[in-house]
Amino acid sequence: MHFTKFRFCGLLFPILANFGGAARADALAQVVPVVAELFTSQGCSSCPPADAVLGELSLRSDVLPLAFHVTYWNDLGWQDRYSFSSADARQYRYASALGRRGVYTPQLVVNGRREVVGSNRSAVLQAIGTAQQAAGIGLVAEQGVLRVRLPDLAGGCDCELLLLGVLPRAQTAVARGENSGHVLREFNIVRQVYPLAGWNGVAERRAQPLPRLPAGVSLIVLLAQRRGDARIVAVGVEKLPSG
């Protein structure tokens, strides 16, 4: 496990395919996946075992594993092609919300409420097994339009909505750094984070243009996250149509 310098400052199925018909509406009552966010890097020798755990989780319909590739390993011999600054910012936010003084890789955060070492398979499975279920968000992307159906949360919610563009899998041959000579297999890589307008926890429908997504992205995820404590309270997943 690798720690950074202390700095202060998480399957593939649609929750709702469309908004018409009782059968489609019933999708919101189905089991909503537990969000497992792995903070990882291609430059970290402790991360490939955690990436493998994430790959195992990607086979489960009740878990939504997400890989956020951080940038702070990039100056140590290898530039991670999937790293971006929003991943760093997200991990630091969790450090603050969860009472940690710093960040590390591989760290895995479950539903924004609990963190474990991402390569510790038993700890990961235990955290997922005891996670509190979030609500379901209806999410459809068609003809360049993003359609969202938000549920009604008891007590409301001062929440932000984040749309994630996800690359389901990739393979990278690493030429330098701690993983030099290894071919890394990676899963559900978050390529971009798009903040949407906030939400107060009341049932609502929205439609807006679908943001331009990075190459290779074929899955989008919508997270409703409390502003104060970063807990994920609602989740939507949509596999984009081919072509």
pLDDT tens, position by position, 91-143: 999 999 999 999 999 999 999 999 999 999 999 999 999 999 999 999 999 99
pLDDT at 31: 79
Percent of the chain with pLDDT strictly greater than 70: 87
- Band of pLDDT at residue 210, cut at 50, 70 and 90: very high
- Does pLDDT of 34 surpass 90? yes
Q: What average pLDDT does the chain have?
A: 89
For the ranges 11-20, 80-89, 131-140, 150-159, which has the lowest average pLDDT? 11-20
- Does pLDDT of 42 surpass 80? yes
- Determine contact, residues 14/139, Cβ cutoff 8 Å: yes
- Name, in order, each residue with C-beta under 8 angstroms of 189's C-beta and a sequence gap of 6 or more: 67, 69, 82, 166, 167, 169, 170
pLDDT at 242: 67
pLDDT at 24: 41
Angle at which helix 121-129 crosses helix 47-57, to 10 degrees, equals 40
Gap between the Cα atoms of 90 and 35, Å rounded? 14
- Determine contact, residues 67/164, Cβ cutoff 8 Å: no
- Does pLDDT of 6 surpass 70? no
Among 221, 224, 94, 112, residue whose Cα is nearest residue 161:
224
